[in-house]
Amino acid sequence: MSMDEDGNETKKPRVQTAARTISLLIAVAQSTKGLKAIELSQKLGLPRQVTYHLLHTLCMTGILRRNDQNRYVLGLAAASIADGFRRQLAPPEYLAPRVRAAVAATGETAYAVGWVDARIAVLATARGKSPVQAAEVPHGHSEHPHARASGKLLLALASPERRNECLDVTPLIALTPNTITSRVRLDGELQAIARQGYAVDNEEFWEGLCCLAVPFEGAHSGFALSISVPAERFHVNFDKYLNALRKVAGAGAEAEALA
């Protein structure tokens, strides 16, 4: 353990080489067209020689490859990791039918979201049926819970210890002008969410997009059902959406029949 500038203990990776290797992989995976070695070195603050050695090893394993533009991109071996991630992060069987039922009841893109260790991740998705649809958040997405209705809901319903564990590693980044970036203000909103039993993202994650989330089967399941809706349609139909989501989230066989 080490200490931060305030004297608090902070966790550091035990094996520096492993931590650096993983950071390289994540940086490449998050890039649009791959990254050059010098870009990775600068982005991650790694010495150039270290970066080259790690990239060479990753290319030898097939996890990365270097393309014709001299950029490092994911290799074929990364496909097995992606496939295993989807398979191992598969949601409980009762979640997927209810996500489809939420689409049937609202016409909007729907998600099931739950805790994965200290993160709040998208576990199942179903595309909406309305002509104009919200952009889909990918399976496994766990970033920015403070800006997502489902993230705020599960944070509000979690124990203080679990909430702090998540927020301690999640910077309150402003994604839109409406994003909450103050921990004091966020804590106040989480208290209100816990009282009312649902959460709203009012163009906090994406401009022009609103989300609504309710818990599955009560406050202590650890899962949330959410829909994403273009803002102009969201406010007009809010009561209908809330009633429909609550019905689907609280119903077992009934929701499967709707799906």
Here the tokens at position 124 are 């199942």
Radius of gyration of the chain (CA): 20
**Which part of the chain is CATH 1.10.10.10?**
2-82
pLDDT of residue 118: 83
Q: What is the pLDDT of residues 207-259, one digit of tens each?
A: 999 999 999 876 677 899 999 999 999 999 999 999 999 999 984 433 344 44
pLDDT of residue 140: 67
Q: What is the DSSP string of 205-257?
A: SSTTEEEEEEETTSTTSSEEEEEEEEHHHHHHTHHHHHHHHHHHHH-SHHHHH
Cβ atoms of 107 and 129 within 8 Å: the answer is: yes
Q: What is the pLDDT of residues 69-127, one digit of tens each?
A: 999 999 988 887 776 766 665 566 678 889 999 999 999 999 999 988 888 988 888 88
Closest by CA position to 253, among listed 101, 122, 112, 90: 101
**Which part of the chain is CATH 3.30.450.40?**
89-258
User: What share of the chain in percent tops pLDDT 70?
Assistant: 82
Q: What is the pLDDT of residues 150-168, one digit of tens each?
A: 999 999 999 899 999 999 8
Cβ atoms of 212 and 244 within 8 Å: the answer is: no
Helix spans in 4-119 (H): 16-30, 37-44, 48-61, 78-88, 95-106
51 DSSP 8-state letter: H
As assigned by CATH, the class of the 89-258 domain is: alpha beta
Architecture of the domain whose range is 2-82: Orthogonal Bundle (1.10)
Residue 9 has pLDDT above 80, yes or no: no
Q: What is the pLDDT of residues 42-81, one digit of tens each?
A: 999 999 999 999 999 999 999 999 999 999 999 988 887 7
The pTM is what? 0.65
What does each C-alpha distance from 217 to 98, 156, 242 come to in angstroms? 11, 16, 15
